[in-house]
């Protein structure tokens, strides 16, 4: 499965890039999924059917491998989370 274009990352890849270590990967995926679900982060979302879950579940049944986030959107979201 390929991203829509070169400027997109899967939610999984975005979480890997932002996580501070392997133990932080899932927590970062959950934070990204939460931001997507609450309209704070725009993404091209694909959802799992209940019987198709792979690994740990994310909010909204978001498929971490087939949900794509534009790098610019991810950067803007990350900047908005930085303390002032």
DSSP class per residue in 5-72:
STTEEEHHHHHHHH-SSGGGHHHHHHHHHHHHHTTSS--B--B--GGG--SS--GGGB-TTT-EEEHH
pTM of the predicted protein model? 0.84
Task: Give per-residue pLDDT as tens, 15-69.
Answer: 999 998 888 999 999 999 999 999 999 999 999 876 666 667 888 889 999 999 9
Q: How far apart are the first and last CA of the chain?
A: 38
Q: What is the CA radius of gyration of the chain?
A: 12
What are the domain boundaries of the chain?
8-80
Measure the CA–CA gap between 52 and 71, rounded to whole angstroms: 27
What's the pLDDT at 41? 96
């Amino acid at each position: 499965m390929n991203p829509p274009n070169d400027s997109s990352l899967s939610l999984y890849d975005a979480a890997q890039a932002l996580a501070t270590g392997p133990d932080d990967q899932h927590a970062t995926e959950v934070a990204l999924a939460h931001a997507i679900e609450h309209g704070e982060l725009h993404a091209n979302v694909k959802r799992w059917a209940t019987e198709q879950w792979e690994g740990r579940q994310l909010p909204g049944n978001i498929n971490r491998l087939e949900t794509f986030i534009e790098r610019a959107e991810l950067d803007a979201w990350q900047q908005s989370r930085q303390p002032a």
